[in-house]
Amino acid sequence: MELKIKKTDFLNLLRWSQGVVERRGTMPILSNLLLEAVSSGLRLSATDLEIALVVEGAAEVKQPGKAVVNARSLFEIVKEAPEEMIRLGKKGDHGIEIVSGKSHFKVVGMNPEEFPTLPSVTPKNQTANETTLDPADLEEMIEKAFYAASSDETRYTLNGLYFISSSDGKKDLLRVVATDGHRLAYSEKETKWNLPKGIIIPRKGVAEIRSLITNGEGDLKVASDERAIQFHRGKTTLTVRLVEGEFPNYEQVIPKKSDKIISVDRGALTGALRRASIMTSEQVRGVKLSFSSNRLEASASHPDLGEASEEVTIDYKGAHFQVGFNPKYFLDVFGVLEDEKVILELKDEVSPCVIRSEFDRGFLALVMPMRV
């Protein structure tokens, strides 16, 4: 293997891989990259066995070949290279030699034949689905649901986003759902991607999809089968193994009817919740929301910290009631919305609060109450 490549081009390729490779895994080869000098340029592959990334860039290839080297070391070497042009060649049985100006590195490698087989989908399979998605729409749906996904890896069916096709009777929709048991969020938009059944994409895979949307260029194509989902954009292909198992029946926790409907300024309530939460702790996180005609009071108290309360003007004409919530859950919701006003739907002191966008009819968030 022998090639020449621009430093900026090499760094762009390497940046794609840094989030995929395993840092402290039990298999050393998973912290490495597979480098392949091919006729079209330099191809990099990275995997942690659940996610696979293949990205290709321009390079002047003099001799095709393969090498497997540590991802982090290679990234640091290329980042600190003194010249724009980098020469890369094979050194010894499995190592590589990197030269940039007067800087010279010999990097120990591993046998390319031992690099794991990358997960893939089978587009020709009858269960496969291929389509082109709008990157902006997909990014927005992910952004409006991702914060509600569980970070507890033992609850593997909640440790990701649930993608499911639906219809409102007039058009086909894609819904992205997340929940951690204490809160829930979903966002849906019109799409032609028809999923025969819902699929769960793990958190790490979703993070790489977001990176592909943010940093990639060109059409975003997607294909899936019963085992994996694959995104292709430009010269980058990302494949993610799906989470096995059933996503919970999230719709049954969404109240069918709420008789207390409140319209409130998002910025005003955000500020009130932030200030009230100063008087909470890790052990006592609750903020009490007291609703009365055109008035909301957010309050919190802690025996070791003190008390806080603030009034917010709201649009509400019903009877007085109060309920406690974790303020962070509301702040996370408000952080992904741009509406000046948000709609809160409540039933009683023990039922969840449904939060809706004033303009985005495809968005819904739900927060469970707590004792305060």
Q: Which residue has the tokens 């023990």?
A: 350
**pTM of the predicted structure, to 2 decimals:** 0.91
Q: Which of 218, 251, 284 is the last residue of a domain?
A: 251
- Are both 198 and 288 inside the same structural domain? no
Digit-by-digit pLDDT tens for the chain (372 residues) are 999 999 999 999 999 888 899 877 778 999 999 999 999 899 999 999 999 999 999 999 999 999 999 999 999 999 999 999 999 998 888 999 999 999 999 999 999 999 999 888 875 554 556 889 999 999 999 999 999 999 988 888 999 999 999 877 788 899 999 999 999 999 999 988 888 789 999 999 999 999 999 988 899 999 988 899 999 999 999 999 999 999 999 999 999 989 999 999 999 999 999 999 999 988 778 999 999 999 999 999 988 899 999 999 999 999 999 999 999 999 999 999 999 999 999 998 999 999 999 999 999 999 999 987
Range of the domain at 162: 129-251
- Are both 145 and 85 inside the same structural domain? no
Q: How many separate domains does the chain show?
A: 3
- Are both 312 and 208 inside the same structural domain? no
Burial class (CB in 10 A: 0-12, 13-18, 19+), 57: buried
- Are both 278 and 355 inside the same structural domain? yes
**What CATH number does the domain containing 327 carry?**
3.10.150.10
Cα–Cα distance measured from residue 252 to residue 297, given in angstroms and rounded to the nearest whole number: 30
Residue 1: other Cβ atoms inside 10 A: 20
**Does 190 map to a domain?**
yes
Cα–Cα distance measured from residue 133 to residue 87, given in angstroms and rounded to the nearest whole number: 38
- Are both 14 and 26 inside the same structural domain? yes
**Does 77 map to a domain?**
yes
**Does 76 map to a domain?**
yes
